[in-house]
Amino acid sequence: MKGKKILSLGLTLCMGMSLVACGSSAETTTEGAKTETTTAVETTATETASAETTESGVPSYSEITVGEDYTDLTASIKWMHHKTDREEDGTIAKYIEEFNKVYPNITVQTEGITDYAQTALLRIPTGDWGDIMFIPAVDKDELSTYFMPFDTLEAMDKEINFANAWEYDGLSYGVPYMGNAQGVVYNKAVFEAAGVTELPKTPEEFIAALQAIKDYDSSIIPLYTNYAAGWTMGAWDAYIGIVTEGDNTYFNQKFVHTADPFSDRGDGAGIYNLFKILYDAVALGLTEEDYTTTDWEGCKGMINNGQIGCMVLGSWAYQQMVDAGEHGEDIGYMPFPISVNGVQYANAGADYSYGINVNSSDENKIASLVFVKWMTEESGWCAFEGGYTVDKDGENPELYAAFDSCELLIDEPALSGEETFLNDMNAESELGFNAGGNTKVQAIIEAADQGASFDDIMADWTARWNQAQESLGIEVNN
Amino acid sequence: MGKIHKWLRSRQGQQAVVIITFSIIPLLLLFVFTYFPFAEMFKFSFYDMKYVGERKFVGLKNYITVFQRDDCFRALWLSLYYMGGAVIQLALALYLATVFCFGIKGGDFFKGCMFFPYLINGIAIGFIFKFFYTRGFVLDTVLGWLGFDLENLPYWLKDTSINNVSLVATSVWKYFGQNMVLFIGAMMSVDSSLYEAAQLDGANKWQQFRYIMLPSIKTIVMLNLIMSITGSLSAFEPPYVIMSGGGNGTATYFVKMHEIAHTNQKVGLASAMAIVLLLIIFVVTILQKLFFAYVFKDAEDEDKNAGKKREKQLAKAMKKQKAREGRA
């Protein structure tokens, strides 16, 4: 009797414990993620200043000639990537097959991972990820802990674009598989039919072009804002800096120190004129009738069949618009219509970059180097994806034809010691530039539609910016 | 040792063991997942902090900011729309519940139809109504059949004079069925002989409702009203989903709080906002209780102290009588 009681008590407790365990296990995962980041920071602190130069047995990226060196090398390497769609449709297998025609003894295994950004960060510290991976969001001062430098930044700059994407201490740790450029996706047929033969280079020309489209056929929406999707509004922030100022140190370095970044300088450039384009387009009725019910999935087909003139989106969107209907050949991509002192600038950025495991054997490192260089120079993958060429000598796909006339720049990282400034300013001012600040851009559309003043919005931004600078104690230069 | 053992085997001891073993798990869960996070949030409200990184104690600064920012309290005014909606919703639910209660053909089918929206996920409802309100889509088409001209119809979500009403309508649509079912449940529990008696005395349907049904279900009415008002103070899904994050002047207090906490990473300020809202909800609930205590006063069968009063009166009367008798 007593034994039974104790047993039942024990059982109850057991069940209780397992319940509690169930409940708290969810917590542990988030906790785990937290500790993960903290340990990562700790490693940074104790980071050794190794990997100053490349190791003796392994050549550098620029020393290898693809197709000539190491063709008889035998090795088996593993590559972890996020392109599960290309894994499934056999594109990656096809490239590896091509690669093996030149390098028959190098076996390449692949592992495609969905939810890559998080999984990769968790796998990195274990070291169990093979020889090549696409570098996830690790801190730059940690790069040498996990990855082998390809070469010095100087040497890499001669070989590839975006060499500074994963640069630390003068060494380059990553080679992007493709680049992206920021411009405007548009329907060539619509622009032509409306009589816009030359692509607009300034805000006035752009608004005039939109007006021409409206005059040509009022059923076409000249500029589709995608207000309702939210993030598509925040996408306007991507043009701040290089496009608006013609300066690749502006966004990450100077912006936070500027006293009045949102004032109208009267030169047709600057952040003021970037958002003025949006305001004017809405105020003049050159956007969709009801912005609150825009439809992101629907807009792809609409621009494809000529119901939309253009949309302000990064070049990654180009392929989706092409694939969305039967008139893919009508879709074009143009630089953003702002000129700084007569020069049109465009910003480009690296997509995911290949990184090579610093702890792999020398043979595997060499094989990985050869593979990465072959993928970059010979595979044609970058062009296939519609990316901006990574190989310095590579041809750009047709969509970047309009970018030939403009100056292409890549954002410089923040100055050391100031890495957190932009994030802090974004949070404190609640403007969130390039950091989810969608509502502030939506507010511009609302103001334009309801007849509120644009200058008031800019004045409000300036006030919030200055207040944030003051409360964070960030030095302001005039 | 023996004493404890003996106590454990006693009736009292057994009771204690059972109570502790059965309640420790729910209490533990309640503490871990409700009270502890709440205490943490209360602590956060005194700090200037992001999710990661340093935390700085700032005292009451966050609370002062909540009261100084005009966007926080302007957002609370929007709750008035939702409160208005809540009143309409309860009236509608009460009316329909009464109709169903007095019997109607196909009642169960209609009940099912009206309760159904409550079962749909709030996000899905958001998407349904996004298309429902789109220019030239469902609502405009239906109104077109009724003879309205599209030109004269407003943009349901764009026009700031009407978009909050549109959003409130979605939440009324979702919740009135649930309120109605609760009311029907309560009404069913009223003894039907009371109605018969009232009918014999010549009471009409309205009088039956006013004097029998309503007093009998007042607890449920009050509960529903308190829940709806609390719900309207914390409205989130309609503006967040339909208006993509509360654009166009539809950002309620919750949407604002979400934006401050997650987009702007001002965790301390958002926590302070949450505490302020909690206090507001307390105040509103207490006010409602007082209001109802007043409204339903005459509906009470009897004052709780009535018995005592009567005895007192009786005693007084007796005394008087005795005194009179004495005099006599």
> What is the ipTM score, two decimals?
0.77
Nearest CA in chain A to B130: A293
Contact B245 A293 (CB under 8 A): no
- Are A229 and A268 members of one domain? yes
Residue pair A446/A457 in contact (Cβ under 8 Å)? The answer is: no
Nearest CA in chain B to A439: B247
Distance from CA of A13 to the nearest CA of B (A): 8
Contact A19 B25 (CB under 8 A): yes
Percent residues over pLDDT 70 in chain A: 88
Instruction: Residue A407: give its domain's CATH number.
Output: 3.40.190.10
Render pLDDT for A360-413 as a digit per residue (tens, 0 to 9).
999 999 999 999 999 999 998 988 888 888 998 888 888 888 888 888 888 888
CB-nearest partner of B24 from A16, A435, A442: A16
Contact A20 B25 (CB under 8 A): yes
Above 60 in pLDDT, residue A432?
Answer: yes
Percent residues over pLDDT 70 in chain B: 95
A13 has a chain B CB within 8 A of its CB: yes
Compute how many other C-beta atoms are within 10 angstroms of the C-beta atom of residue B1.
5
CB-nearest partner of A23 from B33, B163, B259: B33
Contact A292 B246 (CB under 8 A): no
Contact A436 B160 (CB under 8 A): no
A291 has a chain B CB within 8 A of its CB: yes
Contact A20 B158 (CB under 8 A): no
Nearest CA in chain B to A431: B264
Residue A353 sits at φ, ψ, to 5 deg, of -115, 145
Residue A341 is given by DSSP the state T
Distance from CA of B315 to the nearest CA of A (A): 58
Nearest CA in chain B to A232: B244
Render pLDDT for B269-295 as a digit per residue (tens, 0 to 9).
999 999 999 999 999 989 988 888 887
Side chain identity, residue A327: H
Nearest CA in chain B to A291: B158
Q: Are strands A147-148 and A179-181 parallel, antiparallel or unpaired?
A: unpaired
- Asked if the structure places residue A468 within a domain, the reply is yes
- Asked if the structure places residue A54 within a domain, the reply is no
- Are A255 and A361 members of one domain? no
- Asked if the structure places residue A23 within a domain, the reply is no
- Are A215 and A83 members of one domain? no
Higher per-residue confidence, A391 vs B103: A391
Compute how many other C-beta atoms are within 10 angstroms of the C-beta atom of residue A18.
10
Residue A160 is given by DSSP the state B
- Asked if the structure places residue A48 within a domain, the reply is no
Distance from CA of B117 to the nearest CA of A (A): 22
Higher per-residue confidence, A431 vs B302: A431
Q: What is the pLDDT of residue A141?
A: 80
Q: What is the pLDDT of residue A55?
A: 46
- Are A235 and A304 members of one domain? yes
- A6 pLDDT band, cuts 50/70/90, is low
Residue A2: Cβ-neighbour burial (10 angstroms; 0-12, 13-18, 19+): exposed
- A230 pLDDT band, cuts 50/70/90, is confident
- Asked if the structure places residue A25 within a domain, the reply is no
Distance from CA of A434 to the nearest CA of B (A): 11
Contact A292 B247 (CB under 8 A): yes
CB-nearest partner of B29 from A23, A292, A438: A23
- Are A202 and A140 members of one domain? no
Above 90 in pLDDT, residue A231?
Answer: no
Residue pair A217/A192 in contact (Cβ under 8 Å)? The answer is: no
Residue A386: Cβ-neighbour burial (10 angstroms; 0-12, 13-18, 19+): buried
- Distance in angstroms (rounded) separating the CA atoms of residues A64 and A109: 22
- Distance in angstroms (rounded) separating the CA atoms of residues A16 and A13: 5
* Nearest C-alpha neighbor of A52 from the set A143, A157, A158: A143
Above 50 in pLDDT, residue A123?
Answer: yes
Distance from CA of B122 to the nearest CA of A (A): 18
A359 has a chain B CB within 8 A of its CB: no
Nearest CA in chain A to B31: A20
| % helix, strand, coil for chain B, step of 5 | 75, 0, 20
Q: Phi/psi class of residue A348: alpha, beta or left (left: φ > 0; alpha: ψ in -120 to 50)?
A: beta
Q: A16-20, A118-122, A458-462, B23-27: lowest mean pLDDT where?
A: A16-20
Distance from CA of B10 to the nearest CA of A (A): 13
Please tell me the total count of domains within chain A.
Answer: 2
Residue pair A176/A162 in contact (Cβ under 8 Å)? The answer is: yes
Q: What is the count of residue pairs from A and B with beta carbons less than 8 Å apart?
A: 82
CB-nearest partner of B135 from A16, A293, A446: A293
State the best of B14, B52, B248 to mutate against chain A, taking most chain A CBs within 10 Å. Answer: B248
Above 70 in pLDDT, residue A181?
Answer: yes
What is the pLDDT averaged over residues B155-184? 92
A464 has a chain B CB within 8 A of its CB: no
A289 contacts in B (CB within 8 Å)? 135, 155
Above 60 in pLDDT, residue A155?
Answer: yes
Distance from CA of B124 to the nearest CA of A (A): 16
Residue pair A409/A164 in contact (Cβ under 8 Å)? The answer is: no
- Distance in angstroms (rounded) separating the CA atoms of residues A157 and A149: 13
Q: What is the pLDDT of residue B299?
A: 52
Compute how many other C-beta atoms are within 10 angstroms of the C-beta atom of residue A171.
24
- Asked if the structure places residue A158 within a domain, the reply is yes
A241 has a chain B CB within 8 A of its CB: no
Higher per-residue confidence, B15 vs B311: B15
Contact A290 B155 (CB under 8 A): yes
- Distance in angstroms (rounded) separating the CA atoms of residues A237 and A438: 9
What is the pLDDT averaged over residues B301-312? 66
- Are A97 and A118 members of one domain? yes
- Are A171 and A187 members of one domain? no
A12 contacts in B (CB within 8 Å)? 21
- Asked if the structure places residue A21 within a domain, the reply is no
A292 has a chain B CB within 8 A of its CB: yes
- Asked if the structure places residue A29 within a domain, the reply is no
- Are A157 and A183 members of one domain? no
A460 contacts in B (CB within 8 Å)? none
Distance from CA of A455 to the nearest CA of B (A): 19
Render pLDDT for A27-49 as a digit per residue (tens, 0 to 9).
333 333 333 333 343 433 333 33
- Are A257 and A307 members of one domain? yes
- Are A72 and A106 members of one domain? yes
* Backbone Cα Rg of chain A: 26
What DSSP string describes A30-59? Answer: HHHHHHHHHHHHHHHHT-----SS--TTSP
Above 70 in pLDDT, residue B86?
Answer: yes
- Distance in angstroms (rounded) separating the CA atoms of residues B246 and A443: 11
Q: A51-55, A87-91, B58-62: lowest mean pLDDT where?
A: A51-55
A239 has a chain B CB within 8 A of its CB: no
Residue A258 is given by DSSP the state B
Domain boundaries, position A284: 179-350+398-478
What DSSP string describes B60-80? Answer: THHHHHHHH-HHHHHHHHHHH
Side chain identity, residue A460: D
* Domains within chain B, CATH numbers bracketed: 61-296 (1.10.3720.10)
Dihedral sign, Cα of residue A230, residue A232, residue A236, residue A239: positive
What is the pLDDT averaged over residues B144-149? 91
B130 contacts in A (CB within 8 Å)? 228, 293
Residue pair A223/A348 in contact (Cβ under 8 Å)? The answer is: no
H or E element, residue B307:
helix B306-327
Above 60 in pLDDT, residue A128?
Answer: yes
- Are A109 and A203 members of one domain? no
- Are A164 and A237 members of one domain? no
Q: What is the pLDDT of residue A3?
A: 52
CB-nearest partner of B157 from A292, A435, A450: A292
